[in-house]
Amino acid sequence: MQATAQAQPNIALIKYWGKSDVAANLPAVGSLSITLESLWTKMSVEFSSDATTDKLFLNDELNDQMLLRVSQCLDLVAGNERRFAVVRSHSNFPVAAGLASSASAFAALVLATEHALGGSRDTLALARLAGNASGSAARSLYEGFVELQCAGGQIDLQVLLPPSAWPLRVIVAITEEAAKPVGSGEAMLRSAATSPFYPGWVAQQENDLAEARTAVADRDFAKLAAITEHNCLKMHSVMWTSRPSIVYWSKATLACMQVVRELQVHGTPVFFTIDAGPQLKAVCLPEAEETVVAALRSAPGVIRTMVSGLGGGATILDGQ
């Protein structure tokens, strides 16, 4: 009763921020993301009749901090009567630092668990379970450009374009390797309860999604750039105006934004987005990759950059 699955993180261009149902972890707004290719999380799950408790190893180190969420996710997929499991997670990028590590982790976890138990749920059913553990994780089950909508008390997902149809490049500027100070779940609740901008954020999301959907269908880079940056800055405005305020940006994040702005002034096809952490993600056309990497590497406070194309959904690596 063992299986290993791999999933890639995804980056939201139109963001999920806020919950309509906290217990079911349902998003208050739809979102649109791109699944990455070269960043990954591999999760292996082994159920054992000898184990007396669940155990989680993150990059070979025993981890208690994430164990509760992992155990709850195992319950969702395998039921409360299940055996205990040893879960081993390996990622090739920093965990819990605003790089969507929970997305790839929970997407891989539900798939590995289902496979270890010989289950036959389809991708949408698994995405709904992953979404229950972490809203953005549902999107990492799917490839390329993915739209997530919430209707009738559940989420639905759709691939808008496969990665090969519009092979954009993503450059992640890592400005901090440590875990973020406030988790996104807690921060979303605070925003909904206290930011005067939150109702406007929710009300405008359908318009932003429609604009982004059309830009993706038309492969209109300038249009996608404009709506992505607008939606990102709007989400961070909601965070900043929460009480107490939630500020994930650092000096280095701002320096990276300035670098992207300067590149844009010189005609480079690139735009930025930022999630619940200080890392900046730049999205560009393939021909601009080298220029964007060089510019971001020279920004003050950037530790290193990671480059990725767009990639596939979660897959099984081995198991029974």
Contact residues for ligand PMV, defined by CB under 6 A: 12, 15-17, 31, 100, 102, 134-136, 184-185, 275-276
Place of tokens 């990665």: 163
Tell me whether residue 15 or residue 115 sits nearer to ligand PMV (CB atom). Answer: 15
Cβ within 8 Å of residue 309, ≥6 positions away: 36, 37, 38, 163, 167, 168, 169, 170
Cα angle: 311, vertex 318, 64; to 5 degrees: 85
Burial of 209 (0-12, 13-18, 19+ CB in 10 A): buried
Which candidate, 241, 230, 240, places its Cα nearest to that of 196? 241
Tell me whether residue 135 or residue 278 sits nearer to ligand PMV (CB atom). Answer: 135
Which candidate, 204, 167, 162, places its Cα nearest to that of 17? 204
Tell me whether residue 44 or residue 279 sits nearer to ligand PMV (CB atom). Answer: 279
Tell me whether residue 19 or residue 55 sits nearer to ligand PMV (CB atom). Answer: 19
Q: How far is the CB of 52 from ligand PMV (least distance, A)?
A: 30
Element holding 147 (H helix, E strand): strand 145-151
Tell me whether residue 2 or residue 194 sits nearer to ligand PMV (CB atom). Answer: 194
Sheet with 304-308: list strands edge to edge.
270-274, 280-284, 169-174, 304-308
Q: How far is the CB of 267 from ligand PMV (least distance, A)?
A: 29
Q: How far is the CB of 120 from ligand PMV (least distance, A)?
A: 26
Q: How far is the CB of 30 from ligand PMV (least distance, A)?
A: 10
Tell me whether residue 95 or residue 263 sits nearer to ligand PMV (CB atom). Answer: 95
Q: Which two tokens stand for residue 23?
A: 């217990």
Q: How far is the CB of 51 from ligand PMV (least distance, A)?
A: 28
Q: What is the DSSP letter of 286?
A: G
Q: How far is the CB of 96 from ligand PMV (least distance, A)?
A: 9
